[in-house]
């Protein structure tokens, strides 16, 4: 049994490596080449090449494609660039704009993993007769007591990327490999230098590759010009406090940049996109005790029963997990989280990602939440 779990020599095991042009995926290719695997690199061009080459720090386009090619040449391995621009626009960018139009706070990196990378790229790897697809994500894959593949948090909690991979299916997990899950970033950079790769000191790419300088509003406005329609800023007690220049400039939990002068600190409590209203109020109005999920992806072998399941849940990628009870919802793919303690700033469009200790159980998209007195719809 080789290190990737296949009962054959490394030289007879073909691995496709998803190469973004960054240090992480480059080191994955280097590690597998050093171990003697038959490695093929694939880089996805995800948006307009001519535009992308004018910006640094963007993955999957421009300079990064050039860097991935150079890494493949250095490692003496075949490398292909696939034009997925139209797929990326349809599955990720359009969904991103629509989510903001609904008053949500989207996470396009999860949609990208769910569609373009772990659906379309995985299919391309199978077409190349690869035994598996390897990526540079900081997560761990392990076999459970029944031999089923499980996804665990990365060993380095500062680098763990399991939140962004919760939509991975059990079938996909059988085919995926994550060689960096047991490593820390300084070790990865040292390996890149050891392999003689020019990307050893390359900065990490920004989280949302197609949003220049973090200006979400300009991207959404370009895709949906009607998104910049003005509306009212309303206090949770009903008072109209002012006007805004588009709900796309606001997210639930936001405090700075609301555009209202008040004696008390005000937070965005809710966004009513249909009425073009931004509802603000004191921090205590953000407290939520229940969270509702859709499109639940459940990875555990035991089904979620009506008695519920004790879980840890991350409600935002940068926040620690909190304790909750998870119950199935009235429709397939729906679920309800009852939080053991109130949480603040729960935003529709974000993900509720479920864990049991370090093991990823799955997750779903947050649709709405409920405070102690009344339900708040997205």
What amino acid positions are annotated as catalytic residues?
Answer: 112, 209
Single out the residue of 88, 115, 112, 93 nearest to residue 222, CA to CA.
Answer: 93
Say which residues have a Cβ less than 8 Å from residue 332's Cβ, sequence separation at least 6. none
Give the C-alpha separation, 351 to 164, whole Å.
Answer: 9
Give the C-alpha separation, 181 to 368, whole Å.
Answer: 33
Phi, psi at 247, each rounded to 5°: -65, -15
Instruction: Say if residue 57 is exposed, middle or buried (CB neighbours under 10 Å; 0-12, 13-18, 19+).
Output: middle
Give the C-alpha separation, 192 to 30, whole Å.
Answer: 8
Phi, psi at 107, each rounded to 5°: -130, 85
Say which residues have a Cβ less than 8 Å from residue 228's Cβ, sequence separation at least 6. 217, 221, 245, 246, 248
Give the C-alpha separation, 194 to 197, whole Å.
Answer: 8
Q: Tell me the two tokens of residue 267.
A: 């937070």
Q: At what angle do helices 63-74 and 23-34 cross, to 10 degrees?
A: 20
C-alpha atoms less than 13 angstroms from C-alpha of 16 in its C-beta half-sphere: 23
């Amino acid at each position: 049994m080789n290190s990737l779990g296949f009962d054959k020599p490394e030289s007879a095991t073909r691995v496709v490596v998803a190469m973004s042009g960054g240090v992480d995926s480059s080191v994955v290719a280097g590690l597998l080449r050093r171990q003697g695997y038959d490695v093929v690199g694939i880089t996805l061009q995800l948006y307009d090449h001519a535009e992308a080459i004018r910006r640094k720090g963007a993955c999957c386009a421009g300079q990064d494609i050039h860097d991935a090619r150079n890494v493949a040449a250095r490692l003496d391995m075949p490398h292909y660039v696939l034009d997925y621009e139209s797929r990326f626009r349809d599955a990720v960018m359009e969904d991103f704009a629509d989510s903001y139009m609904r008053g949500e706070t989207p996470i396009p990196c999860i949609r990208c993993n769910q569609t373009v990378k772990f659906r379309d790229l995985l299919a391309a790897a199978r077409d190349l007769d690869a035994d598996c697809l390897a990526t540079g994500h900081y997560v761990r894959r392990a076999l459970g007591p029944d031999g089923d593949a499980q996804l665990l948090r990365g060993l380095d909690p500062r680098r763990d990327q399991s939140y962004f991979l919760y939509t991975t299916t059990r079938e996909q997990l059988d085919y995926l490999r994550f060689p960096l899950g047991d490593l820390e970033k300084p070790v990865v950079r040292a390996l890149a230098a050891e392999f003689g790769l020019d990307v050893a000191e390359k900065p990490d790419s920004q989280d949302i590759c197609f949003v220049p300088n973090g200006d979400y509003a300009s991207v959404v406005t370009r895709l949906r010009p009607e998104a910049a329609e003005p509306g009212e800023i309303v206090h949770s007690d009903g008072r109209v406090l002012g006007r805004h220049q588009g709900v796309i400039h606001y997210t639930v939990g936001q405090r700075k940049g609301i555009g209202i002068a008040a004696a008390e600190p005000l937070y965005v409590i809710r966004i009513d996109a249909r009425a073009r209203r931004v509802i603000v109020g004191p921090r205590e109005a953000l407290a939520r005790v229940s969270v509702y999920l859709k499109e639940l992806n459940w990875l555990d072998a035991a089904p979620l029963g009506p008695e519920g399941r004790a879980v840890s849940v991350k409600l935002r990628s940068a926040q620690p997990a909190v304790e909750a009870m998870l119950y199935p919802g009235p429709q397939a793919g729906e679920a309800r989280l009852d939080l053991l303690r109130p949480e603040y700033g729960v935003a529709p469009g974000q993900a509720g990602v479920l864990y049991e200790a370090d093991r990823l159980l799955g997750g779903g998209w947050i649709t709405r939440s409920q405070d102690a007195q009344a339900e708040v719809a997205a």
